[in-house]
Amino acid sequence: MTLTEATFWTKRFGVILLVLVSIFSVLVILLTRDSSPQPFEYQTATYSCSDTKEEFLAEKLDIPSLEVNSDSENVFLLQTDSGKVKDLSELEIINVHKYKTKSQQLDNQLKAKSLASALGFDPDKIYRKGTTDYIWTDSTNHRSLNINAATLNFIMTTNSSYIRDIAKTSSLPTENEAISQAINTIRKLNILGSDFNYNDTGNITTHPIDINPDGSYSEAPSLAEAELIKIDFHKTRSMVSIKDSLTNSDAIVRSFNEKLGEATQDEVIINNERVKIFNYSTLVTYQNPNSSHISVYVGPEDPNSKHLKSIYRINLTYWQLETESCGTYELINPSIAIEKVQAGEGSLVYLNEKGGDEIENYQPRSVKNYTIYDIALAYYEPLTQVNFLQPIYVISGETIFKDESRGEFHIFYPAIDYDIITDKVEIETPEVETD
């Protein structure tokens, strides 16, 4: 999805009296923009996800970076379409989203048992690992389940040798069949909130999996040679959201449609009233941008399983978001993000040779240089629980390794301008349309 610049003022300044030119010339430069109506929160950031700036700044993104070999060179070249940074400045203010608090409840053990039963384990054969985990094992189909006692996030695994033995005599489902089985499995577990869209198959990626002799996973050359299919579910969140109850909402939506592409429409219940919202969204990405926090591994049918016969592994870490964004925040200019990355301040999250294995564990490489081809906006979700879902710039391109082979890279850099955040801004604007 290509992002362009958002405009924030509704009029151009007219002719200014000569005696006032010296006073207002700076304002003319800053405020002379394309004429279109804008909601107030996208003209001036609200900073309303916390009452004080200190509360929010305590949540500044800290994104881990991959290591490269010590002989690598930190040389960056810029080769975007225009020879400059992609023009993202149409969008200067963006939504920040708040996660619902997820803490251990008194009935979490009962919920964990119900989840274990849905996954095919005997709920009463539970083993507690201190106060942190509930664990089940099943010798019949060589599976184990580990559920976090506080969050109910879990990992279900199956012994690799057992999967390989079944794959020798049985065939994989098709890719579409595997996707359908994965969706049905996640839906059946009934633990994801309303912010998860099961039907958005465009945000599903697949990888054929080969099981190595040591039990580790790697990417198979093709589906015909695979023993499992990994299904990753990716999420999107709104960068800009317009309620239809807002004054001039039709004109605002037309304006944003021209600049950011067509909005997706959603209906939510706010204060017991049904409200239509037009969302301009982007992907949520993770520490490994080619993976996700919800992964299902589908394989041939297991004759020893009574439940989920073709499901061999599930990794599920899920943090539910509040229905509406908690506030809007100003973005740093993308050119500044590029400068920070060139100065070595970005987080390298992906580095691989072209056509390389996307599944096996990362191994450090010796880098000669990086050539930046693209910059885009996304949201970043860490593996550990945080309070806010915040935007990042995804800087991507080609790398040349010291052996002259070529690869690809992704670097993340926080997109919010933390230096100008203020305490919460109180906004009083009418939102109900009147004749």
My answer on whether 189 and 95 are in the same domain is no
Q: What is the per-residue pLDDT for 306?
A: 85
Give domain status of residue 353, yes or no: yes
* Residue from 114, 277, 138, 286 nearest 194 by CA: 277
Measured distance between the N- and C-terminal CA atoms of the chain, rounded to whole angstroms: 37
Whether residue 336 sits in one domain with residue 230: no
- My answer on whether 95 and 181 are in the same domain is no
C-alpha pair distances (Å), 25 with each of 13, 18, 28, 89, 150: 10, 10, 5, 22, 58
Same domain, 331 and 312: no
pLDDT the model gives residue 430: 47
By residue range, what is the domain housing residue 167?
A: 108-235+292-316
Q: What pLDDT score was predicted for residue 115? A: 94
Low-confidence ranges of the chain (pLDDT < 70): 1-38, 80-90, 102-104, 194-195, 198-202, 428-435
Question: Do 77 and 368 meet the contact criterion of CB atoms below 8 Å apart?
Answer: no
Same domain, 298 and 342: no
User: For residue 218, is it within any domain?
Assistant: yes
pLDDT at 82: 56
**91 and 377 in contact (C-beta within 8 Å)?**
yes
**Do both 171 and 60 map to the same domain?**
no
Domain count, the chain: 2
Which of 316, 351, 368 is the C-terminal boundary of a domain? 316
Question: Within a domain: residue 302?
Answer: yes
Residues 172, 230 within the same domain: yes
Q: In sequence order, what are the residues at sequence separation of 6 or more whose Cβ sits closer than 8 angstroms to the Cβ of residue 426?
A: none
Cβ neighbours of residue 336 under 8 Å, at least 6 residues apart?
Answer: none
> What is the distance between the alpha carbons of residues 292 and 315, in angstroms, rounded to a whole number?
9
pLDDT of amino acid 369: 95
Shared domain check, 227 and 134: yes
Token reading at 139:
């010798």
Write down the pLDDT at residue 428. Answer: 61
Residue 86's pLDDT is 55
Distance CA 184, CA 88 (A): 38
Q: Are residues 178 and 304 in the same domain?
A: yes
Q: Give the whole-angstrom CA distance, residue 406 versus residue 370.
A: 10
- C-alpha–C-alpha distance, residues 279 and 252, integer Å: 12
Please tell me the distance from the alpha carbon of residue 364 to that of residue 399, in angstroms, as a whole number: 13
8 A C-beta contact, residue 117 and residue 127: no
Distance of CA 79 to the CA centre of its chain: 26
CA-based nearest residue to 97, from 392, 265, 321 = 321
Whether residue 273 lies inside any domain: the answer is no
Q: Answer for the pair 70, 39: CB distance below 8 angstroms, yes or no.
A: no
Same domain for 163 and 312?
yes
Instruction: Write down the pLDDT at residue 33.
Output: 39
What integer pLDDT is reported at residue 9 of this predicted model? 30
The reported pTM is: 0.84
Q: Residues 170, 149: one domain?
A: yes
